[in-house]
């Protein structure tokens, strides 16, 4: 018997399934359909599988042999939602289907241990994640990583994938116990969602975000009690942990004293789940309304700055750049024009569009670790598109994309640099000031 199959048989779920009219306009937008060319690896085919399961037309054997593999091969990038003329909320459909799949499989001991350490122990505890980052920094600077990469062919596929996406780490962290004070005329106060992986492994992005917001006249507070957004747990079907983390973040951010203009997030994937807390906690009588209040405050940093760029960047950056959209920022949050508007405001920067800017890079949360072969094929297609632009600067707006594109540049043998949008803005500001990268830090005495 298929456990928890009733989740797919609810009236509301079947109503959402019925919105699909099988027109097939989603197929050209789907990365896995483009790679594998199978109907069952496109949104329309997966919805047909969901409908069959909901109607009791799939046996337990068929569920394990056909349903589960095709559902889990989905990136949940939600490009199909943007392409769909009927407004099918595919992200919600596949999220529930994944939950049922996870409840009907028994991971091996190694996977269970890795999940417990990563999802339950480390991600919710930023201090542990930073400790891990420091250890991995030693792994890099000791040249051990170079030795390990020479032995990649003999390592398990998952370990190779984890090593490939590891960015160059600089374990210098800002002390968030003190707020970042506005520079020049004050325009208000903001709260900052630091993220977990972003803060531990790409701390320079968070520090650049603080500097850019400070430059534009905002006082920034980052509550130290905040935790992981819950997206990785949701991707792996751990709905209850995702809800626990959501409740904690809501409590932390809504308990801050005073008025704040917005909760700023600089990672497209994190921002999407933060904005969707009302859906995640819709059945929680204590948190449903609080989740709506919190989500109404959340803004992607590009979304906010596009409307509040009080100090335009003046420093010239002579570079040919391409912007690789974060899938969740583009398709989940519908933030598309704002990052491009900000890049076009930078003197000297030439922005060249990709042929398929809406196509996923293969990161998709933990997809590039869980589905290594598919993620690699999708990444190769993305890097071919990037290479065709001739760009020497690849701009991103999401943590996972940032790490995946760094791996892609190395894999494709490109010389392009990968930077977050706020890093590019920050660089322009510093060049305009004549400041060097080494000395332009936010309240340097508070860095640790």
Helix (H) / strand (E) containing 132:
helix 126-141
**301 contacts: CB under 8 Å, gap ≥ 6:** 209, 212, 213, 264, 265, 266, 397, 421, 422
Are residues 207 and 174 in contact, defined by beta-carbon separation less than 8 angstroms?
yes
Rg of the chain taking only CA atoms, in angstroms: 22
Residue 435 pLDDT:
63
Global pTM value: 0.93
* Domain extents in the chain: 6-102, 319-433
The CA distances from residue 145 to 135, 141, 152, 446, in Å, are 12, 8, 10, 31
Are residues 210 and 174 in contact, defined by beta-carbon separation less than 8 angstroms?
yes
**Taking the CB of residue 69, how many other CB atoms lie within 10 A of it?**
13
CA–CA separation, 47 and 51 (whole Å): 6
Residue 441 pLDDT:
39
Phi, psi of 20 (to 5 degrees): -70, 125
Q: Is 188 helix (H, G, I), strand (E, B) or coil?
A: strand
What spatial distance separates the first Cα and last Cα of the chain, rounded to whole Å?
54
Residue 110 pLDDT:
83
Residue 444 pLDDT:
36
**440 contacts: CB under 8 Å, gap ≥ 6:** 211, 426, 430, 433
Q: Give the CA angle between residues 179, 204, 355 to the nearest 5°.
A: 125
Sign, CA dihedral 56-62-63-67, equals negative
CA–CA separation, 391 and 323 (whole Å): 10
**280 contacts: CB under 8 Å, gap ≥ 6:** 230, 234, 242, 243, 246, 273, 291
Q: Say if 6-102 and 319-433 have the same CATH topology.
A: no
CATH of domain 6-102: 1.10.1060.10
Are residues 68 and 101 in contact, defined by beta-carbon separation less than 8 angstroms?
yes
pLDDT along the chain (448 residues), means of 10: 90 94 94 94 96 93 93 95 95 93 87 88 95 96 94 91 94 94 94 97 98 98 97 88 97 95 97 97 97 98 98 96 97 97 98 95 91 95 97 97 97 96 98 64 38
Is 319-433 CATH 3.40.50.1860? yes
CA torsion angle 404 402 246 302 (round to 10) = -150
Ordered DSSP codes for 79-94: HHHHH-TT---HHHHH
Tokens of 255: 């308990």
């Amino acid at each position: 018997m298929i456990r928890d199959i009733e989740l797919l048989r609810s009236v509301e779920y079947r109503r959402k399934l019925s919105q699909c009219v099988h027109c097939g306009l989603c197929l050209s937008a789907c990365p896995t359909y483009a790679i594998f060319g199978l109907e069952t690896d496109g949104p329309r085919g997966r919805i047909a599988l969901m409908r069959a399961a909901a109607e009791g037309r799939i046996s337990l054997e068929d569920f394990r042999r056909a349903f589960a593999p095709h559902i889990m091969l989905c990136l949940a990038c939600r490009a199909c939602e943007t392409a769909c003329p009927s407004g099918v909320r595919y992200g919600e459909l596949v999220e529930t289907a994944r939950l049922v799949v996870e409840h009907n499989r028994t991971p091996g001991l190694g996977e269970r241990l890795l999940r417990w350490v990563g999802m339950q122990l480390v991600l919710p505890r930023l201090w542990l994640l930073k400790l891990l980052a420091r250890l991995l920094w030693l792994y890099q600077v000791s040249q051990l990583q170079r030795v390990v990469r020479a032995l990649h062919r003999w390592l398990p596929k998952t370990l190779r994938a984890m090593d490939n996406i590891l960015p160059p780490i600089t374990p210098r962290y800002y002390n968030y116990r003190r707020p970042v004070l506005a520079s020049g005329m004050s325009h208000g106060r903001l709260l900052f969602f630091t993220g977990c992986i972003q803060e531990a492994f790409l701390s320079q992005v968070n520090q650049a975000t603080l500097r850019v917001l400070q430059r534009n006249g905002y006082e920034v507070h980052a509550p130290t009690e905040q935790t992981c957004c819950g997206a990785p747990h949701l991707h792996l079907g751990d709905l209850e942990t995702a809800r626990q983390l959501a409740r904690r973040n809501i409590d932390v951010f809504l308990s801050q004293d005073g008025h704040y203009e917005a909760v700023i997030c600089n990672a497209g994937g994190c921002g999407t789940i933060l904005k969707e807390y009302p859906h995640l906690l819709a059945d929680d009588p204590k948190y449903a309304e609080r989740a709506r209040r919190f989500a109404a405050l959340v803004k992607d940093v590009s979304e906010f700055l596009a409307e509040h760029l009080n100090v335009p960047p003046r420093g010239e950056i002579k570079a040919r750049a391409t912007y690789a959209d974060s899938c969740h920022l583009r398709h989940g949050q519908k933030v598309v024009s704002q990052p491009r508007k900000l890049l076009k405001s930078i003197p000297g920067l030439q922005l060249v569009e990709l042929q398929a800017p809406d196509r996923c890079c293969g990161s998709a949360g933990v997809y590039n670790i869980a589905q290594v072969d598919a993620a690699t094929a999708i990444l190769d297609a993305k890097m071919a598109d990037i290479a065709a632009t001739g760009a020497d600067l690849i701009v991103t707006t999401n943590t996972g994309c940032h790490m995946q594109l760094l791996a892609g540049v190395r894999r494709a043998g490109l010389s392009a640099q990968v930077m977050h949008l706020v890093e590019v803005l920050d660089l322009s500001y510093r060049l305009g000031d004549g400041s060097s990268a080494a000395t332009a830090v936010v309240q340097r005495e508070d860095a640790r």
